[in-house]
Amino acid sequence: MSSNLYATIHEATRLNHEGVRCLGANDSQSAHRLFKQALAAINSSLANDIYEGDDEKSSHPRTIPTLALPIAGMEDDLFYVHSQALVVDFSVFGPSSSTLHIASTVILFNLALSCHKYGMQYSAEPNLRSASRLYGLCSNLVNQQLEESETFSAADDLASLVAFAALNNKAQIHFRYLVDPQGAVDILKTLKPTEAILSIESPFLEPAHLEAIMLNRFTLAGSALLPSAAAA
């Protein structure tokens, strides 16, 4: 079973890396395909195997080597979009179902980002709606993981940051494209920069990124210009 799990983790890492490379090369469609393949491999492994005694948090690294690749073409003058695709070597977590869960979180975010980028580039509403749904799934998956965690690991820290960014990007889609400014406000109100979030050091979500996201929150929540801004 461990050999199969190692193979799945290795394949998910490879496909995610390739997907991020395509996304950085402005090939959102190929990136989308690769991210979906990675998620399919993970889902198949989770559905077909039972993992017992393999989720010991202490075996996880205290810090996670990650690479955040800025994706061009997602700039928005009115609303900061967190357009950082994540590259992670998931094998550092060891062979466990929790490794598959953090891999799912990262790849779901990257998949949503590929839909988001394509939708912004080509004003493709179906892709933007797909991105919104995927960001929501990503956030929900993280919440479920954290509720089940008895102790917090570096993987949980990374997942928390991914969920934070996912909700910010989901709010941008509602505000700018779905003509739903109140929905954007409601989403952003759920973003609370706890001391734990602020203390995490990661190239994926640096202090400047967090400040930009919170500026989105405070600007929209107190703005009387929501309808005109959303339609701009």
Structure confidence at residue 156 (pLDDT): 87
Residue 95 pLDDT more than 60? Answer: yes
For the chain, the domains span: 2-49+65-231
Q: How much is the pTM?
A: 0.90
Average pLDDT over residues 192-198: 79
**Between 1.10.260, 1.20.58, 2.40.50, 1.25.40, what CATH number should domain 2-49+65-231 receive?**
1.25.40
Residues 183, 186, 189, 191, CA torsion sign:
negative
Instruction: State which H helix or E strand residue 197 sits in.
Output: helix 195-199
* 112 Cβ neighbours under 8 A, 6+ residues apart: 130, 131, 134, 135, 138, 166, 169
Q: Confidence band (pLDDT; 50, 70, 90) for 199?
A: confident
